[in-house]
Amino acid sequence: MWVSNYAIKKPIITTVVMIALVVFGGIALLKLKTDEFPEVTAPVVNVSIVYPGASPAVVERELIDPLEESFRSISGVDQINSTAVDGYAVLTVQFVFEKDIQQATQDIRDKISESRADLPLEMEEPVLTRFASTDFPIISMTLTSDTLKPVPLTQLAEDRIRRELTALPGVASVDVVGGLERELTVELRPDALRASGIAIGQIVQTLQTENLAVPVGKLSGSLDERTIRLRGRLSGPAEFEQLVVGRNGNRVVRLGDVADVKDGSEEPKTAALYNSTQAVGIDIKKALGYSTTDVSKRVLKRIDELQSELPKGTTMEVVRDSGARVEASVTDVQSSLFEGALLTILVVFIFLKSWRSTVITGLALPVSVVSSFIAVLAFGFTLNVMSLLGLSLAIGILVDDAIVVRENIVRHMEMGKDHLRAAAEGTSEIGLAVAATTFSIVVVFVPIAFMGGIAQQWFAPFALTIACSVLVSLFVSFSLDPMLSAVWEDPDVGHHEGRSWLSRKLDIFDRAFNRLTRFYKRVIGWALRHRFLMVVLALVAFFGALAIPATGAVGSGFFPVEDRSEFQITLECSPGASLEYTKRKVIAAVELARKHKEVMYTYSTIGGQTGTDTAQIYVRLSPKKDRAIHQDIVAQALRNEIRQMSGVTAYISTGFGNFRQIQIQLIGPDTDILNGLAERIAAEVRQVPGAVDVGLSSKGQRPEVEVSLDRDLAGQLGVSAATLAQALRPAFAGLESG
């Protein structure tokens, strides 16, 4: 073969090429970003809309139904899933995979603008987000203080910590959970309003028109130009109380005459707890395209720097760090890769019984593995579990070509040929067979990288890493191996005397292997004499293996069961439960968890998009080496204990992809009928052995107070439904006026 012949004739060039592959592979390895899994994106757009005070039924009727109808006309829409909760709507629009995500986002934004006239005026501006695997926080931490009250503690988190962390490269967003922001509250006094004859609408209009700061123009001179800004912002209760809201006869009515203005905090909608202690939670998400470990290290370094600048008695605790978990996962795979390489070289030495032959064939491993990182970087992959898993799987394959080539070269040497001739003819003789074997492996794995969809993004690093590494190993076996065989003479080849003591010791293994070979020959002879029986046995074994999963003897799942020393509890209270009620239930559940010696701490968040009746409890366990039991056992014990609590339902996720693996979807026009059917199905599923955390996506109807309009009386008084709504909303839901 021309490759091997050229390598034998030009050993220096061959050596330089191999060194260059290793050097550039090492540089690529240093530049690779580290992540636990490949970054996955999909043409999915989430539309989140806040509709204050609206029930789920109203949200569905006034927001979801018209928007779904509008979105269906967008080209490429594959599926729309919507969720309506109290005061909140989420529409998840899934497009065909070929759809450009930016164009999809713009199409949705255009449809919302077209439908704006048909949507409620009270709804807030829709928020559009794209699906990505980076949507989950990589770091969560708590901010607690013995000296600061909730409002200044929240200001510290919002104004200082959030600003500092957001400025770091790779940080996409920093979300503050459970804080209390300063708020000037105007509490109306109904008796005073009636006595003064002032309507609520007048007060709302006064607040909106008097509390503002706007640019009103500019002054141009011969030497300069200045902008003019009206300073109309009010800063304290005293200034608000002096606002004129109307007249009662000849008397001026000020805001302080009909309302109490208080400088306090907003009504809490979320809460965060570190164990059972009130805290401010801070969640950090990374941007797409950045390394989880790099971003995590930058954030942790900045947190350490901020610790010394915090007020006395105030501390930050990192409760969840994905960077450390990613680094540990990648390190585990790297260790397995290294151990596999050593064992492979050891096996090669045992069979070849020559350290020169072992070195010559073993060099295929580091050259092939390190060179593969060039391809990983070129394809834009990260150094993750999937790409390293591909290398781990390929370890045994990488030396196959080198072993076959070296063994054939040695055979030619034992035939009396010199090293140069044996290297050239030995490689050429089996070159086609070796190449065919390698390319058969490549054609098996390469199509996996082009299967399409999310699976392509997930498995492409795995498949292409294997393909590239075996192609490099083929090149090494056709170049480096024959070159070294030609220039590096092995005195043990063809000689039994004068061999090393280790080679002579390995003769014991050789004799045992020869006995095994003779036994294998007898088995093959028996099989050839009983061909029909062997075919029957093969068919029975084949179809029997296929039938095993159906019997339930072997389970199946998308991800393996892991012990990550952590799990998460979703706690649901009865629909409409207050934040304080849910907090009490969370504290009770946390106290149950803390009784287990395996639990280090908990971090809980309550409220948010899911409502004040839902909470998330993150449970951190001690490291695996310090525990005698698996995390699933701890989770199951805690699940049974929380089940005894009244008024709550708990769902526990113990690992990646291990949350509600089976989902049943009911589709129909009537929500009440669907809920009834869902309850009946859930009751049946709960009886299935092994089924846990059986729940419904709908939490039931939240208690409501309905106001019925007396049309006759309203008509006599000249009060319309819109006027009544404008009066009731600020009285019960409140309005922001600046």
For the chain, residues classed under CATH 1.20.1640.10 are 2-30+354-494
Q: Superfamily assignment of 2-30+354-494 in CATH?
A: Multidrug efflux transporter AcrB transmembrane domain (1.20.1640.10)
Q: Which token pair is 216? A: 């009103």
Measure the CA angle with vertex 191, ends 186 and 194; round to 5°: 100
Percent of residues, the chain, with pLDDT higher than 90: 17
50: closest CA among 109, 111, 123, 108? 123
**DSSP 8-state secondary structure symbol assigned to residue 669:** S
**Is residue 462 within 8 Å of residue 386, measured between CB atoms?**
yes
Amino acid at the residue 529:
R
Residue whose entry in the numeric block shows the structure tokens 């799942």: 557
For the chain, residues classed under CATH 3.30.70.1430 are 41-132, 566-661
Q: Which residue has the higher pLDDT, 449 or 587?
A: 587
Beta bridge partners of 649: 572
Query: How many CA within 13 A on the CB side of residue 283?
Result: 15
Lowest-confidence pick of 30-39, 290-299, 689-698: 689-698
**Is residue 385 within 8 Å of residue 333, measured between CB atoms?**
yes
- The burial class, CB within 10 Å (0-12 / 13-18 / 19+), for 696 is middle
Write the DSSP assignment of 302-327 as a string of letters.
HHHHHHTTSPTTEEEEEEEEHHHHHH
Percent of residues, the chain, with pLDDT higher than 70: 94
Average pLDDT of the segment spanning 275-298: 88
Q: Which residue has the higher pLDDT, 518 or 719?
A: 518
Question: For the range 201-208, what are the long-range contacts, defined as Cβ-Cβ under 8 Å and sequence gap of 24 or more?
Answer: 201/723, 201/726, 201/727, 202/245, 202/246, 203/245, 203/255, 203/258, 203/259, 203/730, 204/726, 204/730, 204/735, 204/737, 206/243, 206/244, 206/245, 206/246, 206/255, 207/243, 207/737, 207/738, 208/737, 208/738
Confidence (pLDDT) at 605: 92
Query: How many CA within 13 A on the CB side of residue 477?
Result: 32
Lowest-confidence pick of 135-139, 293-297, 578-582: 135-139
Phi, psi (5° rounding) for residue 314? -110, 130
329: closest CA among 383, 374, 394? 383
Per-residue confidence band for 497, with pLDDT thresholds at 50, 70 and 90: very low
CATH topology of domain 566-661: Alpha-Beta Plaits (3.30.70)
**In the predicted structure, residue 265 carries a pLDDT above the cut 90:** no
687 contacts: CB under 8 Å, gap ≥ 6: none
Cα separation values, 88 from 63, 124, 256, Å: 9, 10, 34
Per-residue confidence band for 597, with pLDDT thresholds at 50, 70 and 90: very high
Average pLDDT of the segment spanning 229-252: 83
**DSSP 8-state secondary structure symbol assigned to residue 670:** -
Per-residue confidence band for 700, with pLDDT thresholds at 50, 70 and 90: low
**H-assigned helices in 44-100:** 56-59, 65-71
**In the predicted structure, residue 657 carries a pLDDT above the cut 70:** no
Confidence (pLDDT) at 490: 64
**Is residue 441 within 8 Å of residue 397, measured between CB atoms?**
yes
Question: For 99-111, how does the pLDDT look when each residue is reduced to its tens digit (9 = 90+)?
Answer: 888 888 899 999 9
321 vs 324: CA distance, rounded Å: 6
Per-residue confidence band for 161, with pLDDT thresholds at 50, 70 and 90: very high
41-132 CATH choice from 1.10.3720.10, 3.30.70.1430, 3.90.1150.10, 1.10.1040.10: 3.30.70.1430
**H-assigned helices in 488-559:** 501-529, 531-551
Q: Which residue has the higher pLDDT, 528 or 559?
A: 528
SS3 85: strand
Phi, psi (5° rounding) for residue 126? -60, 145
Q: Which of 54-58, 512-516, 690-694 has the highest mean pLDDT?
A: 512-516
**In the predicted structure, residue 89 carries a pLDDT above the cut 80:** yes
326: closest CA among 656, 631, 627? 656
Residues making up the chain, counted from first to last: 738
**Beta pairing, strands 277-286 & 139-145:** antiparallel
SS3 sequence of 555-608: CCCCCCCCCCCEEEEEEEECCCCCHHHHHHHHHHHHHHHHCCCCEEEEEEEEEC
Per-residue confidence band for 498, with pLDDT thresholds at 50, 70 and 90: very low
**Is residue 62 within 8 Å of residue 51, measured between CB atoms?**
yes
Per-residue confidence band for 658, with pLDDT thresholds at 50, 70 and 90: very low
Question: For 534-583, how does the pLDDT look when each residue is reduced to its tens digit (9 = 90+)?
Answer: 999 999 999 988 888 777 677 666 666 777 888 999 998 888 788 899 99
**Is residue 296 within 8 Å of residue 324, measured between CB atoms?**
yes
Confidence (pLDDT) at 322: 85
Question: For 32-60, how does the pLDDT look when each residue is reduced to its tens digit (9 = 90+)?
Answer: 888 877 877 778 899 998 887 777 888 88
Per-residue confidence band for 496, with pLDDT thresholds at 50, 70 and 90: very low
Average pLDDT of the segment spanning 523-537: 93
Phi, psi (5° rounding) for residue 173? -155, 155
279 vs 70: CA distance, rounded Å: 42
- Max CA separation in the chain (angstroms): 126
Neighbour tally for 413: CB within 10 Å: 20
98 vs 282: CA distance, rounded Å: 36
Question: For 416-432, how does the pLDDT look when each residue is reduced to its tens digit (9 = 90+)?
Answer: 788 888 888 888 888 88
Q: Which token pair is 33? A: 């970003």
Measure the CA angle with vertex 297, ends 295 and 299; round to 5°: 70
